[in-house]
Amino acid sequence: MTIKEELIQLGMKPEEIDNHCSDLYVKKNAISEKFVSEYEFKNIVKTFVDDIEHKLWYEIPFAYTEYYKKNKEC
């Protein structure tokens, strides 16, 4: 199961998850906070404020595994 699939199974809405190339973006809320706190590589997870809604999101580097399956360049 991918991280994206796991987050959706935990209750995240698809619109609360995005990506840029191989980096997974996840809107910060109770579900994502718990996930990140238990994530094996949490020390590389950063937060940012999106430019549209000005909400806090997590950036999880290299976690969008679908990117690698598509083999696209960014």
Largest CA distance in the chain: 33
Residue 34 has phi, psi (to 5 degrees) of -65, -45
Q: Is the pLDDT score of 71 beyond 80?
A: no
29-50 mean pLDDT:
98
Alpha helices in the chain (DSSP H): 3-10, 30-38, 66-70
The string of pLDDT tens digits covering residues 10-19 is: 999 999 999 9
Amino acid at position 53, single letter:
E
10-32 mean pLDDT:
97
